[in-house]
């Protein structure tokens, strides 16, 4: 195991370029609690299994949020490129190992959305193979050479991207290396494409839809042009000449409509086409569902706005379905599941039925005392929020992502004791070594270890997201949340 109970992974003091290594430090131990255990799960969110070689990606937009960008304050975090995006399969496989170490103590694993990154069929296949068990070959396009933006051989040199193999010839170092201390790791790009053999989870798992599962870059509704782009032989590498970067607001809009900002005049490079990158159809996306574990009922909502935009909402039909399910759940403890937390249900855009936003959904849940918790993801951070009064209500619990720091899941023990229902939380690191090494790039755990240290050194937000709010408060991490037992 990377860590044990009472430990956590933390950043060491930064060097002159701001780069930090990782170490293990003491952590708060989750308090013990007596009572009847009702269910034991692992909550995972935002695995973002990524085909980083896809022609349907928009990495070139991410530089607009670089520390030296004139547009940084206006655009905020763009999030279309991460140096560790080539290692998502390895991180998930490493988490599978960590979960399986506790399999005898678990009833289920629940993944609250953004299982994949760009709504592609091959990403969905890779994710399922890792979770179910099997062999994944995490590459697309050219079978011999990676066409990822950080590949020295397969993509034109661009100093804005990290190149683990270093620059070609006499070229200067890329910006992540020269300014932010990123290391050279020769052979990493090639190693990231090698087959990963996952043992699969030894407990049942259940997925909840997220915006990246259904929408390109989690934002844009697939259309025929984008479906052609995804499987085709052109990769867009920049904005059209003369176009203001402020146009990117249309492509990364939190509220629909949203669109890709490329045009016929956009600069592009040749790429190897691949039909496996096809975009998913609506019929291939997961739907709302119900699953009972003893007296605990898990109710999964689809909060994706399928009309576009990366924030969420509930359609009227699903809102009425949720009301019906809750009315039929008397005598059970209901845990509601969604990708978006309540405060991100802000997207009213619609092409068909009316949408219901945060206040309406929270009020509906509060109308039914059987609701004791709401689990979500989306914001890539640990968080918790109480809804209700001293006598009734529910906890909203959000778990961080596997693509960004701190790359953790959450073990949750649901128990009943002395007129209360409790949620005993213990954070779970994936099973990669804390100290990374380039000595064995054939081991997916070694690659997952590299991914974690890369996520800890995100140069877009080293002091805020990386070493701040993404980790959450102590009360968001190893703790117990109590709510009044509606049946006491």
Structure tokens that stand for 454 in this block:
């890369």
Report the alpha-carbon distance of residue 98 to residue 96 in Å, rounded. Answer: 5
Smallest CA-to-CA distance from 105 within 482, 337, 412 is with 412
What is the C-alpha to C-alpha distance for residues 99 and 76, in angstroms, rounded to an integer?
Answer: 34
- pTM comes to 0.97
Q: Residue 285 in contact with residue 214, Cβ under 8 Å?
A: yes
Query: How much is the mean pLDDT over the chain?
Result: 96
Look up tokens 């290692």; give the residue.
87
CB 6 within 8 A of CB 29: yes
Look at residues 29, 52, 409 and name the one whose alpha carbon lies nearest to residue 201. 409
As given in the structure block, the two tokens for residue 189 are: 């790009």
Nearest-angstrom CA–CA distance, 195 and 362: 44
Q: For 427-482, what is each residue's pLDDT tens digit?
A: 999 999 999 999 999 999 999 999 999 999 999 988 665 667 899 999 999 999 99
Q: 217-259: per-residue pLDDT in tens?
A: 999 999 999 999 999 999 999 999 988 998 877 778 899 999 9
Rg over alpha carbons for the chain, rounded to the nearest Å, is 22
pLDDT reported for residue 467: 65
Residue that the structure tokens 């975090």 belong to: 77
- How does DSSP classify residue 326? H
Walk me through the domains of the chain, giving residue ranges and CATH numbers.
7-484 (3.60.21.10)
Tokens of 469: 């709010």
Phi, psi of 44, deg, nearest 5: -115, 150
Q: Given this model, what pLDDT does residue 468 score?
A: 77
DSSP 49: B
Q: Which stretches of the chain score pLDDT less than 70?
A: 1, 463-467
**Angstrom distance (rounded) from CA 425 to CA 414:** 9
């Amino acid at each position: 195991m990377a860590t044990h109970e009472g430990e956590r992974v933390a950043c060491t003091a930064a060097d002159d370029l701001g780069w930090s290594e990782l170490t293990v430090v003491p952590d708060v131990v989750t308090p013990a609690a007596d009572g009847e255990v009702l269910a034991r799960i692992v909550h995972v969110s935002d695995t973002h299994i990524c085909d980083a070689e896809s022609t349907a990606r928009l990495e070139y937009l991410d530089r607009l949020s670089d520390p030296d960008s004139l547009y940084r304050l206006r655009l905020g975090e763009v999030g279309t490129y991460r140096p560790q995006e080539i290692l998502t399969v390895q991180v998930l496989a490493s988490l599978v190992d960590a979960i399986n170490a506790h399999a005898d103590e678990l009833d289920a694993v629940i993944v609250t959305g953004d299982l994949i990154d760009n709504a592609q069929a091959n990403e969905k296949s890779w994710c399922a193979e890792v979770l179910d068990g099997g062999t994944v070959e995490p590459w697309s396009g050219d079978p011999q050479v990676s066409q990822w933006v950080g590949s020295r051989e397969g993509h034109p040199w661009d100093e804005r991207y990290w190149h683990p193999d270093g620059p070609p010839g006499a070229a200067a170092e890329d910006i992540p290396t020269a300014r932010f201390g990123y290391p050279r790791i020769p052979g990493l790009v090639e190693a990231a494409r090698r087959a990963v053999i996952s043992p699969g989870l030894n407990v049942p798992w259940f997925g909840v839809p997220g915006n990246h599962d259904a929408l390109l870059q989690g934002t844009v509704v697939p259309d025929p042009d984008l479906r052609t782009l995804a499987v085709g032989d052109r990769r867009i590498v920049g904005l059209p000449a003369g176009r203001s970067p402020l146009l990117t607001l249309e492509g990364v809009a939190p509220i629909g409509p949203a669109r890709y900002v490329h045009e016929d005049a956009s600069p592009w490079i040749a790429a190897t086409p691949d039909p496996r990158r096809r975009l998913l159809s609506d019929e291939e996306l997961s739907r709302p569902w119900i699953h009972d574990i003893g007296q605990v009922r898990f109710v999964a909502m689809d909060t994706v706005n399928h009309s576009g935009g990366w924030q969420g909402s509930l359609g009227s039909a699903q809102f009425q379905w949720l009301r019906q399910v809750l009315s039929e759940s008397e005598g059970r403890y209901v845990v509601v599941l969604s990708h978006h937390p309540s405060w991100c249900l802000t997207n009213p855009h619609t092409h068909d039925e009316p949408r219901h936003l945060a206040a309406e959904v929270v009020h509906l849940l509060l109308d039914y005392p059987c609701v004791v918790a709401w689990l979500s993801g989306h914001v890539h951070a640990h968080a918790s929020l109480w809804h209700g009064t001293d006598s009734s209500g529910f906890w909203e619990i959000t778990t961080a992502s596997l693509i960004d720091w701190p790359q953790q899941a959450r073990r949750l023990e649901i128990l009943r004791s002395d007129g209360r229902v409790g949620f005993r939380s213990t954070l779970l690191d994936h099973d990669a070594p804390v100290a990374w090494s380039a000595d064995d790039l054939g081991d997916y755990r070694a690659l997952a270890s590299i991914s974690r240290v890369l996520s800890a050194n995100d140069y877009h937000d080293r002091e805020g997201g990386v070493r701040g709010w993404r980790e959450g408060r102590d009360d968001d991490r190893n703790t117990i949340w109590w709510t009044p037992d509606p049946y006491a």
